Amino acid sequence: MENVLDAKIPEGPLAEKWSKHKFGLKLVNPANKRKYDVIVVGSGLAGASAAASLAELGYNVKCFTFHDSPRRAHSIAAQGGINAAKNYQNDGDSVYRLFYDTIKGGDFRAREANVYRLAEVSVNIIDQCVAQGVPFAREYGGLLANRSFGGAQVSRTFYARGQTGQQLLLGAYSALSRQIAAGKVKMYTRTEMLDTVLVDGQARGIVTRNLVTGAIESHAAHAVLLCTGGYGNVFFLSTNAMNCNVTAAWRAHKRGAYFANPCFTQIHPTCIPVSGHYQSKLTLMSESLRNDGRIWVPKTKEDAELIRQGKKSPLDLKEDERDYFLERKYPSFGNLVPRDVGSRNAKYMCDEGRGVGSTGLAVYMDFSDAIKRDGESVISAKYGNLFEMYETITGENPYKVPMRIFPAVHYTMGGLWVDYNLMTTVPGLYALGEANFSDHGANRLGASALMQGLADGYFVIPYTLGDYLATIGPAKVTTDHPAFKQVEQEVSEHISKIMAINGTKTVDEIHRQLGLIMWDYCGMSRTAEGLEKARMEIQKLKNLFWTDLKVLGTHTEMNQTLEKAMRLWDFLELGALMVEDALTRNESCGGHFREEYQTPDGEAERNDDDFAFVSAWKWEGPDKTQTLVKENLQFENVKLSKRSYK
Partner 1 sequence: MKLTLKIWRQKSTDTEGRLVDYVVDKISEDMSFLEMLDVLNEDLIKKGEDPVTFDHDCREGICGTCSLYINGRPHGPTRITTCQLHMRTFKDGETITIEPWRAKAFPVVKDLMVNRSSFDRIIQAGGYVSVNTGSARDANETPIGKEIADEAFNSATCIACGACVAACKNASAMLFVGAKISQLAMLPQGQPERKRRAEAMVAQMDAEGFGACSNTMACVAECPKSISMANIVSLNREYIGAKLTSNQV
Ligand X SMILES: Cc1cc2nc3c(=O)[nH]c(=O)nc-3n(C[C@H](O)[C@H](O)[C@H](O)COP(=O)(O)OP(=O)(O)OC[C@H]3O[C@@H](n4cnc5c(N)ncnc54)[C@H](O)[C@@H]3O)c2cc1C
DSSP, res 633:
P
* Residue from 18, 64, 296, 420 in contact with ligand X (CB under 6 A): 64
- Whether 635 contacts 609, CB under 8 Å: no
* Residue from 53, 65, 266, 291 in contact with ligand X (CB under 6 A): 65
Q: Does 165 bind ligand X (CB under 6 A)?
A: yes
Q: Does 62 bind ligand X (CB under 6 A)?
A: no
String marking each residue 368-407 x if it binds partner 1 according to CB under 8 A: ---------------------x--xx-x------------
Q: Does 338 bind ligand X (CB under 6 A)?
A: no
Query: Would strands 157-158 and 82-83 be described as parallel, antiparallel, or unpaired?
Result: antiparallel
Smallest separation, CB 59 to partner 1 (Å) = 13
Q: Does 151 bind ligand X (CB under 6 A)?
A: no
Q: Does 342 bind ligand X (CB under 6 A)?
A: no
* Residue from 37, 57, 59, 80 in contact with ligand X (CB under 6 A): 80
CA distance 204 to 181: 26
Smallest separation, CB 375 to ligand X (Å) = 25
Scan residues 424-463 and list those touching ligand X (CB under 6 A).
433-435, 446-451, 453
Q: Does 264 bind ligand X (CB under 6 A)?
A: no
Closest residue by Cα to residue 213 from 564, 557, 560? 557
Nearer to ligand X by C-beta: 112 or 195?
A: 195
What beta strand segments (E) does 419-557 contain?
429-431
* Residue from 32, 34, 94, 144 in contact with partner 1 (CB under 8 A): 144
The count of chain residues that interact with partner 1, using the rule CB under 8 A, is: 79
Scan residues 485-504 and list those touching partner 1 (CB under 8 A).
504
CA distance 126 to 544: 49
Helices (H), 395-472: 449-454, 461-472
> ∠ CA(476), CA(481), CA(484), 5° rounding?
110
DSSP, res 110:
S
Q: Does 222 bind partner 1 (CB under 8 A)?
A: no
Scan residues 279-338 and list those touching partner 1 (CB under 8 A).
279-281, 283
The count of chain residues that interact with ligand X, using the rule CB under 6 A, is: 46
Smallest separation, CB 436 to ligand X (Å) = 8
Smallest separation, CB 229 to partner 1 (Å) = 12
CA distance 640 to 107: 9
Helix axes 14-24, 95-105, angle to 10 degrees: 100
Report the partner that residue 65 touches, choosing among partner 1, ligand X, none (CB closer than 5 to 8 A by kind).
ligand X
Query: Would strands 429-431 and 223-226 be described as parallel, antiparallel, or unpaired?
Result: parallel
Give per-residue burial for 159-187: e unless 16+ CB within 10 Å, then b: bbbbbbbbbbbbbbbebbbebbeeebbbb
* Residue from 7, 180, 317, 629 in contact with partner 1 (CB under 8 A): 180
Torsion (CA) 242, 247, 248, 249 in degrees, nearest 10: 110
* Residue from 18, 28, 53, 633 in contact with partner 1 (CB under 8 A): 53
Nearer to ligand X by C-beta: 37 or 434?
A: 434
- Whether 444 contacts 465, CB under 8 Å: no
Report the partner that residue 558 touches, choosing among partner 1, ligand X, none (CB closer than 5 to 8 A by kind).
partner 1
User: What are the Cα distances from residue 86, in Å, to 91, 358, 449?
Assistant: 10, 44, 17
Closest residue by Cα to residue 186 from 70, 71, 76? 70
Scan residues 189-218 and list those touching ligand X (CB under 6 A).
192-193
- Whether 28 contacts 469, CB under 8 Å: yes
- Whether 268 contacts 425, CB under 8 Å: no
Neighbours of 610 (CB within 10 A): 10
- Whether 247 contacts 42, CB under 8 Å: no
Backbone φ and ψ of 85, nearest 5°: -85, 55
- Whether 484 contacts 195, CB under 8 Å: no
Report the partner that residue 519 touches, choosing among partner 1, ligand X, none (CB closer than 5 to 8 A by kind).
none
- Whether 588 contacts 594, CB under 8 Å: yes
Q: Which stretch binds partner 1 (CB under 8 A): 30-38, 137-145, 246-254, 533-541?
A: 137-145
Q: Which stretch binds partner 1 (CB under 8 A): 289-297, 529-537, 557-565, 625-633?
A: 557-565
Smallest separation, CB 396 to partner 1 (Å) = 11
> ∠ CA(348), CA(351), CA(356), 5° rounding?
95
Q: Does 35 bind partner 1 (CB under 8 A)?
A: no
Active site residues: 339
* Residue from 78, 326, 363, 409 in contact with ligand X (CB under 6 A): 78
Q: Does 468 bind ligand X (CB under 6 A)?
A: no
Q: Does 70 bind partner 1 (CB under 8 A)?
A: yes
Residue nearest to ligand X (CB): 44
Report the partner that residue 334 touches, choosing among partner 1, ligand X, none (CB closer than 5 to 8 A by kind).
none
Write out the residues near ligand X by the rule CB under 6 A. Answer: 41-47, 64-67, 73-75, 77-82, 164-165, 192-193, 227-230, 239-240, 244, 247-248, 284, 410-411, 433-435, 446-451, 453
